[in-house]
A = this chain, B = another copy of it.
Amino acid sequence: MRIEPESHRNSPAGSDREQQVLDRIEKARRRKPKVKAERITLAHGSGGKATQTLVEAVFLEAFRNELLEPLEDGAELPLEGHRLAFTTDSYVVSPLFFPGGDIGDLAVNGTVNDLAVTGATPRYLSAGFLIEEGFPLAELTRIVESMANAARAAGVQIATGDTKVVEKGKADGCYINTTGIGVVRSHGLGVAGVRPGDAVLVSGPIGDHGITVMLARGELDIDADVVSDTAPVHELVADLLAAVPEVRALRDATRGGVATILNEIARAAKVAVFVDEESVPVRTEVRGASELLGIDPLYVACEGRIVVVVPGERAEAALAAMRAHPQGEQAALIGRVGDDPPGLVLLNTAFGGTRIVDLLVGDPLPRIC
């Protein structure tokens, strides 16, 4: 369960050991992606290193086209002179019900958020249910009502659907796919546009959702007063973009957490991302539970938090715009973008050291969304 970062660096910058680590990482990253495993593992679904390799080596290789290539949370489609945002997600969270939400509102909010962070106004969702034989109708009804409420709250319509049932033992209660369509309003958002000198912000405390789900599994004897942050972020994003149109990139920090997003930014934009551990907002309960679980909160999924990159001089304006919205009250500046070492995320720890925050290697939190 413990996350092992690829390297700890408490040695002074520029040391031989540090350079060796950087060289090794750089070499590994230059390789053509190839999945070494012969079978799919849970790590391939973690959003981390294994997922990235699988996507690049198998899916991108076969489907190669300019829409899929940017690997953003959603694609931007040219259609009849308009630009549509299009995104899909399957939800396999376990348990199906947890403090603060359930798979139903998660499936709506998650896809609404993937549309919102492409700078689009979310409009329509599809809903594909994959149900295990024997699943209680009362639970299905509760999930469906929760979806309907979340859709109303987010201002989207569930326009089309599908139901499949598989034999007992061939699923786990209920899985849901939602796929969303939005209308793109803003221009040029994307992690590849991030530049040295930019500021990195988060919209609120991180890790609430992931820790809530882990605790709801009841496998741990921890009783923390924490609820999922599942919520639609499209209004927060709209307010932010209205106040700061210069926003470079937006992402919602779900599977793999803030650390994964920052790595995607560092790699796509070929920049270094420096994060101050002390400025990352983490609730006391979440920090405590994370420590007991042996997980760094930076890797824990949120379902209603965004990571925002803006030009450095616009950081205060972006913070102010987010803090003016109820969902962004605890927004914080957590780091900055530099140029060296390119492709890496470096954390200044609370103890004064620096360490590389790499992509996850395993999957410490399977089926968190």
Contacts and interface: CB of A to CB of B under 8 A. Distances in A.
Interface in A123-173: 123-124, 126-138, 140-141, 144-145, 147-148, 151, 157-167, 169-172
The CB with the most chain B CB atoms within 10 A, among A41, A88, A129, is that of A88
B177 A51 contact: no
Interface stretch (A31-39, A231-239, A292-300, A350-358): A31-39
A161 B63 contact: yes
A91 B177 CA distance: 12
B126 A179 contact: yes
Nearest to A124: B77
A49 interface: no
Interface stretch (A52-60, A190-198, A222-230): A52-60
Interface in A89-144: 89-92, 123-124, 126-138, 140-141, 144
Given A40-B134, A131-B44, A366-B167, A159 B55 contact: no
Contacts of A137: 35, 37-40, 58
A136 to B, nearest CB: 6
A172 B172 CA distance: 11
A333 to B, nearest CB: 31
B131 A68 contact: no
Most B CB within 10 A of own CB, among A65, A124, A131, A164: A164
A165 B58 CA distance: 15
A130 B159 CA distance: 22
B161 A68 contact: yes
A149 to B, nearest CB: 9
Given A63-B148, A63-B151, A80-B183, A41 B133 contact: yes
Contacts of A42: 133, 165, 167
Interface of A: 35, 37-45, 51, 54-55, 58-59, 62-63, 65, 67-68, 74-75, 77, 79-80, 82, 84, 86-92, 123-124, 126-138, 140-141, 144-145, 147-148, 151, 157-167, 169-172, 175, 177, 179, 181, 183, 363, 366-367
What 7 pairs between A and B have smallest CB-CB spacing? Answer: A45-B165, A179-B179, A88-B126, A177-B177, A75-B159, A62-B148, A75-B160
